[in-house]
Each structure stands twice: as structure tokens, then as C-alpha cells.
């Protein structure tokens, strides 16, 4: 029965990135399409001609005043060359197109990317395979209807962005090195078309989500699960250090690159994510209901750090117990138990993640040094005997 339920679960939710046999990766230092880097300039010129202002020979956009720059171009006025639009190399490059009218943005998207078949659909978005026309770089195209964008972020300058965009722009801004060295998949472009939001995301190839990866193997052995969990702990600590709360860490939102000598972890779907302040707690749960931490049931409040650790424990439990879907309430009614085949250290790691009291639950930093992961850094003290600290958030 469990196997049938797992099969149906995987069929209902295809991985939004599991497509293609040819492996293409974003190389170090690569940024969104430089071979067509005059595209937005040409679109602005086209808009100026459409408005009857006549052709413009060049468009220079000031970094701190992009909106007024676009208005000036549409009226045929030239701007001083403080910053050439085509030379922007950081997150502001990803914001530039979004000051334009929806029909211009749509034209820019269609000129730059080719959308292919649907890969997956969820409660808030649909994801399609695609590629960048200039170099055939595989991308994932996520389309979110406007009425499904329930979480917004207000920047210091008063500008409102979809929260998922704000989160991913911060990840782009704070990532050192290349997109290929980052655990979260990278945002390459985004377009706000009024009726829907389009996110163009990095799509590692070949890859599958962890749910499908586990299913294809009939579950994971401890050795392979440990390789994945080591990377996941590091990735979640990185998000925590950037004050980002994913909210929905689960096997379907963990991507596994399969073209390497080891399974490489990538994190996807920041649609429910938020920025978090130290000590903040939440009343309304966003995420997978069956994975809600016990404190949500006990006191109707939860915090980022302990919740993330709980969800990581859920991931490890499902990875090591094939064809078994985790449910918080079932777990505490003794309906789910650890396999007797697991090592003592592995069971202890799981117990540290799935502790009912969030104040006693281990932090990500403590778990990083757990003996099961083999990262003790000469500190051989068992986490069970260390002084328990509250989570960073």
C-alpha cells in the first residue's frame, strides 16, 4: 500500500527539472545572456519609435533611477552615460526589464527564451523546460499567476517585489563565484507581466529531484544519504546566514545533479520563502502540512531555525525508509519508527532533528558536527552531552 501511494505521489508531482540527457552547466563567472546584451536596448528603442518619438541611437540607464530613465527614452530624451544598461553585471541587471510595460517584457522574454514542455505543476505555479536561444543553455521557466503571489517584500526604497524574486535576487547578490558553485539554483531573469510572473531559473542537466532519485533506487543506503545530508546542512546554514527561511524543505524541493561522480544537492522552489529576523516567530504555517513541526500543533507558533531542522529530519527519514511518507502526527502516535538497520549514530542524528521540543532540538551548526556526518573537527563530544543552545533564529 505504501509503495502504491508513493508511486502515485511521484506521478502527481513530476520533478520541475528532470528533463534532458545532455549536461550543460553554467560556467564560472557566467551571467545572463551577454551575446544578446543589446536586446533590452533595442526594445527600448522600439518602444520609443512606437510612441512616435523617433529612433534612439543609444540608451544609457542610471543605476539608481531606472524607471525615470525608461520614461526619458520613451520621450526621445537622452540620458547621461552613468551606466550602460548592457554592462550591468549584478542583481540590478535582473531588475532592469521589469520597469518596462508588460507587452515589452513579454516580447523580451519570447525573443530571448524558448519554452518547451511542462515539467510540473503545483498549487501556485507551473514549471516548463526551456532554453536560452543565444547559447541553448537549459533553463526552467516558472510561471506564477498574479493571484497566487501571496507573499510580497517591500524594499527600503518602498518598492514592492514578489518575495520569491527578492529572495533570489539576494542569493544572486551574495553568491561568491559562479552559479554552478551555489546550492540554490540561480535566478537568470524575471518578467512581471501583470497577469503572471515569469521566473527564468538555472536548470542543471541531467538531474532529478530527491523524491524521484530515491524512488529509482528503492531508497538510499546510509552512505549515500550521508553525502546528501552533509551538503544539505551546509546549504541550509548558508541560507540561515543570509536570513532566508525556505519554509518547505522536502525531498521534492531538493534537486540532485546526477552527471557527477557524487550526487550533488541543489535547492529549488523559494515560492514560500521569507526573510527572517532573529527571534521572530510565526503563527500561519506555509509549507507542506504533513511536515509541520510539532510546535505548530502544540502552541500554534514556530520559528525558522527549529522548523528547518525538523524538515531536514523529515528528508532524512524518507530517504532511509523507502516507500514511507512522513507525517508529523503519525510519527508522534508511534506510527513511524526508525529502521533497525540504521547505525546508532544515524538514529541519534534523526532523533536530534525530530525532537518534539524545539528548544531541545539541535541547531544546524550542532548537527554539522554530529559524529554521523564525520565532521567533528576534533570535538569528539556527543551532541547529547553538549550544552544545548537555542537556534540562531
Q: What is the rounded CA–CA span in Å between residue 351 and residue 61? A: 55
Q: C-alpha distances in angstroms, 256 versus 126, 131, 210, 323?
A: 20, 20, 6, 19
Is 248 marked active-site? yes
- Give yes or no for a contact between 119 and 127, defined as CB atoms under 8 angstroms apart: yes
Burial class, 344, CB count within 10 angstroms (exposed 0-12 / middle 13-18 / buried 19+): exposed
For 75-139, the DSSP string reads TT-----SSBGGG--SHHHHHGGGGS-HHHHHHHHHHHEEEEEEEEE-SS-EEEEEEETTTTEEE
What the block records as the C-alpha cell of 126 is 507551473
Q: Count H helices, E strands: the chain?
A: 13, 14
Given the residues 248, 261, 348, 379, the one annotated as active site: 248
**Phi, psi at 227, each rounded to 5°:** -60, -45
Grid coordinates 508529523 are at which residue? Answer: 328
Nearest to 254 by CA among 313, 306, 317, 183: 183
Residue positions annotated with a catalytic role: 248
Amino acid at each position: 500500500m505504501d509503495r502504491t501511494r508513493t508511486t502515485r505521489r511521484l506521478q502527481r508531482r513530476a520533478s520541475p527539472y528532470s528533463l534532458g540527457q545532455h549536461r550543460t552547466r553554467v560556467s564560472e563567472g557566467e551571467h545572463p545572456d551577454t551575446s544578446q546584451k543589446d536586446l533590452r536596448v533595442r526594445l527600448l528603442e522600439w518602444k520609443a519609435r512606437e510612441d512616435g518619438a523617433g529612433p534612439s541611437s543609444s540608451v544609457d540607464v542610471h543605476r539608481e533611477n531606472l524607471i525615470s530613465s525608461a520614461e526619458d527614452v520613451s520621450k526621445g530624451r537622452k540620458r547621461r552615460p552613468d551606466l550602460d544598461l548592457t554592462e550591468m553585471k549584478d542583481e540590478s541587471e535582473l531588475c532592469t526589464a521589469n520597469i518596462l510595460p508588460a507587452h515589452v517584457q513579454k516580447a523580451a522574454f519570447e525573443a530571448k527564451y524558448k519554452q518547451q514542455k511542462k515539467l510540473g505543476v503545483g498549487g501556485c505555479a507551473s514549471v516548463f523546460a526551456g532554453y536560452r536561444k543565444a547559447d541553448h543553455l537549459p533553463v526552467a521557466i516558472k510561471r506564477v499567476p498574479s493571484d497566487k503571489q501571496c507573499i510580497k517584500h517591500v524594499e527600503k526604497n518602498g518598492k514592492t517585489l514578489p518575495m520569491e524574486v527578492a529572495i533570489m535576487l539576494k542569493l544572486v547578490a551574495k553568491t561568491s563565484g559562479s552559479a554552478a558553485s551555489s546550492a540554490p539554483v540561480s535566478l537568470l531573469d524575471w518578467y512581471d507581466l501583470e497577469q503572471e510572473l515569469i521566473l527564468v531559473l538555472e536548470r542543471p542537466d541531467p538531474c532529478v529531484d530527491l523524491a524521484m532519485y530515491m524512488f529509482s533506487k528503492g531508497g538510499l543506503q546510509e552512505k549515500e544519504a550521508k553525502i546528501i545530508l552533509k551538503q544539505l546542512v551546509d546549504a541550509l546554514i548558508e541560507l540561515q546566514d543570509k536570513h532566508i527561511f525556505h519554509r518547505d524543505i522536502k525531498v521534492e524541493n531538493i534537486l540532485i545533479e546526477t552527471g557527477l561522480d557524487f550526487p550533488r544537492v541543489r535547492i529549488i522552489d523559494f515560492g514560500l520563502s521569507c526573510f527572517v529576523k532573529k527571534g521572530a516567530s510565526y503563527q500561519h504555517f506555509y509549507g507542506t502540512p504533513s511536515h509541520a513541526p510539532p510546535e505548530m500543533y502544540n502552541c500554534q507558533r514556530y520559528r525558522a531555525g527549529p522548523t528547518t531542522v525538523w524538515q531536514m529530519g523529515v528528508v532524512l527519514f524518507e530517504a532511509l525508509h523507502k516507500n514511507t511518507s512522513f507525517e508529523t502526527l503519525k510519527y508522534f502516535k508511534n506510527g513511524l519508527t526508525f529502521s533497525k538497520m540504521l547505525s546508532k549514530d544515524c538514529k541519534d542524528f534523526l532523533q536530534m532533528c525530530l525532537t518534539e521540543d524545539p528548544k531541545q532540538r539541535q541547531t544546524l551548526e550542532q548537527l554539522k558536527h554530529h559524529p554521523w556526518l564525520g565532521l567533528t573537527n576534533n570535538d569528539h563530544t556527543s551532541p547529547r552531552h553538549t550544552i544545548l543552545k537555542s537556534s540562531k533564529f
